[in-house]
Each structure stands twice: as C-alpha cells, then as structure tokens.
Structure 1
C-alpha cells in the first residue's frame, strides 16, 4: 500500500478490514417532500421509500439481574405503556415507518412532540438534536453493509432518550446494533449496570464507529488507485476517481452533521445524561471528528490523484510529440533535397549524371545520419 495514505488512515481510522463493496453510488436519494405540501406543521406524512411490508416493535428490558426481550404485535402496542415509567432500562425499537398511525399512537403514548413525529417520518431529515424538558431527540443517518452482496445502504434512525426509556425508529429491520444487543444479553461490559443514557450513548457510538468502518474500507480502494495510477493512466481509473469523489460527498452528507449533533448534546448538559456518561460523549465527538477529517483527507488525496492522472497523460503526450518531432526534424532536410530534385528543370546537370540518383540518396542518408547524431549530442532524446 502507498505510504502516503496508509499513515493517514492509521491516525484517523480504526483498523477494520471489511469485505469489499460493490459500489457506494445511489446510497443517498432525495425523497419527494411535496407530499406534505400545504399541510399543517406536525402532520404525520411518511416521506421516503417503504422498505418492509409490516412494521415490527421489539423490546429489550433489563437491569443487572433482570433481562426480557420480546416482540409485540401491532395489536399489543398498548402494552408499551408498561415501560413508560418502569425502573428498568427499556429499549423500544420500531422497524418500519410507513404506517403513520402506529408512529402517531406511540408518539402520543410517550408524549413525543408532533413536530418530532413529523421528523421521524421524514427519512430525508438532516441530522439534528432537540432538547425537550423530559427527553432528548436525535436523528441521523445509519450506514451499513450487507455482507451477502457487499452493498452499502443507508437509513434514517431517530432516537428518543428519556430517563426511563430509549425509543428508536428505523426504516427497516436490520441494523448495526447486533453487538450492543449481544452485550446486553450476555452481560458483557457495563451496559447492564448503567442507565438509559449509557444505552443511548452505546447506540450512537456504534453508528459512528460504523462510519469509521466504511471509511477505512473506502481508503483501501483509494490506496489501490495510487499504485495503478503510477503504472498507467486509463479512462477506467479516471472514472474510479470521479466515482470515489462522489461517494465521499454522499458519505459526508451523513457524517459531517453528526459531529455538530454530538457537540450540541454535550453543550446541552441535559440531566438525562449522567455526569459519568459525558466523558464517553466527548470520546464519541473525537471519533466523529476523526471521521470528518478522514473524509477531507481522502478528498485531497483524490484531487492529487486527478493531478497525477492529468500529469501522466501530459507526460505521455509529450513523449509521443517528442518522437514525432525527432522524425520531423530528420526528414525536413531530406524532404528539401527530394523537393529540389523533384522540380525537373531541364538544365539541372545532376539529372543527366549516371550516378546522380545514387549520389542524391547517399547525400540524403548522410544528412539524416548527421541530424540524428546532432540531436543525440544535444540530448534532445
């Protein structure tokens, strides 16, 4: 791997070796926001693409000694009220946002502001943080890799953080939180010994770590380009450079706002987050900053690659022009001689000499060889 980039990746990313991606293109698509045009603020309208047939509601409820995990049917939604004021840590996850009545019912049950319910249903929502009196609201993009087809996908996740519960809303089933679930189930780490605020931090940390995961992999692709560029500049390489620049732009749209989001959480000094959790949030801010800086580094590297590509093409073209110029310089005097003896004037004595034709050829050979020696002596090739 090229040394110029590998040092940067060592300093700015965690060394994870994910499977290769087929493509990042098409990950982020603007949704049609015109569907809620003219409606009153807080109107519940789903903006996005339906990604699953039927919503699912899953619950993980635990303390240090107690653990319960289950899935509720849509007819059992009223049972969520039992977790509203429980003394346990309750993680309620909703997969599927297309049924607005379900989101509205859950929002009403947990006293979520109608404007926030609207943000939950708008999957084109920019990453944001809202501090309400009794809870905090966070929405951001979650990037993930399908290991079966190596396809990168994105979805919006919204998190409501209350002192008694954590609500998460996702577009589809399947996420990057499996490691968090396993830590809870197997009592690994400190999750089973702390509150809802630390659970919310763990979810945010997993999302941001996954940004690093993806950037590290993209960095491997970019590193490979440098070696190929130094060998030969092709149109395929140019297309790859432009593709990666576009991919970085898409990823940046998800990553850059998250750094500001975390800063706002820290500045809020909300009592929902215990004082012991704030150092972890500051560490999370450092990771988000690293991800942002890595994106900028890769952008600069790709810009340098474009310069290398165009410089290589110019050098190759100059070599071609150099060879053509040498041939032209040699053949110009020969063309002059041939032109003189091609005029066919009657009183050109050389035309009547027996050895005139061989003599002219010999002269042309001597002049050509002399021109070659002169150009070689001047080190012009």
Structure 2
C-alpha cells in the first residue's frame, strides 16, 4: 500500500481512493504516500503544494531530523529506528533508520516515506474510535499521534540495547573474551547512530511545542511538549547507556591488562630464578683444568651432584622468598 487516504469526520472515519475527493470532503484529512509509487507521490505533492526540497529531504536518508516552515504548512522530518542482527559477524546488532516527513496544514496532514512504513499501516485503523477527538483537535493532533508513535519505538530500541549491554557486562565479569570488545564497540556505534537521530528530533519537536508553527493550535502544544519530554528522556538514556558501555570496555581492558600482568610476573619470576643457575652453569662450563689455579671441583667425584644440589637449593630458596613476598 503506497497511498493511504483517511478523512476523520464527526460521523466516523472514511477512506478514499482519490486524493482530490479526500481533500474536498469535510473533516480532517490524513494522506500517507511513499516513494514506491512515484505517480501517487507526485499527485500528492502537487495537490498540497509541498516544496520539492522538503520531499527530497525525506527521500535522502542522510538528512537529519528537522522542522521548517513553508507557505501554508509546516514540515517536520523524523526517523524511525529498529535493530537487526548484523550480517557481517556472528554476533552483534546494527541500527536501521527510515525517514518520515510530516507536512501539517490547515485541516490536513500528509506523511511521506521513502518506502512502505510499518508504523503507518496499523495506525489509522487504531484511531477510528477516536475520530471525534481528531475532528475537535485538528490535523496537528494527528501529527502529534504519529510523532508519539515514532518516539515510543525509540524506547523499544533502547530496551533492546539495554538488554544487550547487560548481557555483555555479565560476560565481561565472568569470561572476558576478545570478542566482547567488538560487541561493546558495536553497541557504542548503535548508540551514536541513535543519538544522531534522537537529538535533532528533539529540537524539531521543540519547534512545534513552543508555538513557532502557525499550523499547531495553542491547545495542542502541550501534546508536542509531552513528545519533547520523551525525547529528552530518550537522549538522556542513550547517554547513560554510552557511559555504561564505556565502563564495561574499561573493565574488560583492565581485566586483560591484569591477566597480562600476571603472565609477565610469572615469566619474570622464572627468568629471575634461572639467572643464578645460568651463572653457575656458565662458570663450570669453562672447563679449565691442568693447573694449580684451575677449579678443584672438576676432579672431585661428587662435584656434579653437589653442583646440581646447590642449584636446586638456590632455586628453592628464591621460590620461598617470592611466595613470602606475595609475588606467586
């Protein structure tokens, strides 16, 4: 479904196949168009006088959320978010966004998306029982309901990210494996991408909540302030989760560093023990004999076992000392 046309009246909700008929019908009109069908999008753009630059912003996935005022309507761009399993690795998730543009006019709302939007399809039928409320409050109230649904999905995404962070934190404390660092970096990337969506969306909704848009009635500004408050909470949660991932990464790096230090300490102790043993072996390896000044042990029957016993005693004394010092 690329074009959805709904008119809210005091008698209920009516759907139309023709855009012109929906516009001429009494009531509050909501039209959703996606770029999957260029003809429908062009018809809606021409009928409501939507600015071509604003439509291009919706179709460009690199455009940040924003709000702009045009002649006869206000344009608001926000982005939906969802998490999916990454294809390039066996673990981790990545965040996907999709733009949705809201054009709010006097008595009408047009929403535009690059492709079919899962958020829109179930939304209008769910509001059929509230048609009187929509008629009383106007098309800007419809825009609030769409924005509120988008922001509610933000909380769902953050809940998934929080679950991933808790799972990684537990593994950091129990089994600090090398793969954990990549997972933590992946979560940090997702939170950064999420922040790039939520932060400008907060500013865009703030424009509607302050009365800067003539298409937003004063009585409906409190609803947009409620969405703004939710976005403030979303941004704060994203920052908190970034701090948590940074803390988990520090714990992992400290655990790896501590493990490395333990290995180096053991190797240092072993090398230290072998230093005097190497000296003894080196001295007796000179094999000087045949002169009165040569080593008398070379001709002694018990010279070899005595030397080995002396080396073992030195090693034992050093090990005992290291244990008493707490180095082992």
What are the superposed Cα offsets for residues 168-225 of structure 1, whole Å, 9 maximum, x if unpaired?
1112223223553242134499557542111110000111111121111111111211
Q: How big is the shift at 1:151?
A: 8.1
- Aligned positions, number: 318
What SS does the aligned partner of 1:84 have? helix
Q: How big is the shift at 1:145?
A: 5.8
Q: How big is the shift at 1:131?
A: 2.0
Residues 285-324 of structure 1 mapped to structure 2, 5 A cutoff: 285-324=228-267
Contact 1:197 1:272 in 2 (8 A): yes
TM-score normalised by length of structure 2 = 0.87
Give me the CA root mean square deviation: 2.6
- Per the alignment, residue 298 of structure 2 pairs with 351
Range with greater deviation from structure 2 (342-351 or 182-191): 182-191
Range with greater deviation from structure 2 (60-69 or 311-320): 60-69
- The reply to whether residue 155 of structure 1 matches residue 98 of structure 2 is yes
Please state which structure has a larger fraction of its residues in helix. Answer: 2
Range with greater deviation from structure 2 (280-289 or 190-199): 190-199
Contact 2:28 2:107 in 1 (8 A): yes
- The reply to whether residue 184 of structure 1 matches residue 130 of structure 2 is no
Match of 1:135 among 73, 79, 85: 73
What are the superposed Cα offsets for residues 38-66 of structure 1, whole Å, 9 maximum, x if unpaired?
xxxxxxxxxxxxxxxxx721112223432
What SS does the aligned partner of 1:380 have? coil
- Per the alignment, residue 264 of structure 1 pairs with 207
Distance in 2 (CA, whole Å) between partners of 1:98 and 1:263 is 32
CA distance 1:340–1:257, shift in 2 (3 Å): same
- The reply to whether residue 125 of structure 1 matches residue 70 of structure 2 is no
CA distance 1:264–1:353, shift in 2 (3 Å): same
Match of 1:363 among 294, 310, 318: 310
- The reply to whether residue 171 of structure 1 matches residue 102 of structure 2 is no
What SS does the aligned partner of 2:127 have? helix
- Per the alignment, residue 246 of structure 1 pairs with 189
Distance in 1 (CA, whole Å) between partners of 2:180 and 2:82 is 26
What are the superposed Cα offsets for residues 286-331 of structure 1, whole Å, 9 maximum, x if unpaired?
1111111222222222222222222111111100011111112222
Distance in 2 (CA, whole Å) between partners of 1:333 and 1:116 is 80
Distance in 2 (CA, whole Å) between partners of 1:365 and 1:123 is 73
Contact 1:85 1:164 in 2 (8 A): no
Distance in 2 (CA, whole Å) between partners of 1:378 and 1:173 is 70
- Per the alignment, residue 116 of structure 1 pairs with 54
Distance in 2 (CA, whole Å) between partners of 1:333 and 1:143 is 66
CA distance 1:85–1:162, shift in 2 (3 Å): farther
Distance in 1 (CA, whole Å) between partners of 2:131 and 2:13 is 13
Q: Which runs of 5+ in 1 are unaligned?
A: 1-54, 73-78
Q: How big is the shift at 1:134?
A: 2.3
Q: How big is the shift at 1:121?
A: 4.1
Contact 2:36 2:114 in 1 (8 A): yes
CA distance 1:69–1:81, shift in 2 (3 Å): closer
Which ranges of 4 or more aligned residues in structure 1 deviate by more than 6 Å?
none
Distance in 2 (CA, whole Å) between partners of 1:190 and 1:166 is 15
Contact 2:35 2:114 in 1 (8 A): yes
Task: Answer 1 or 2: higher relative contact order, Cα 8 Å, separation at least 6.
Answer: 1
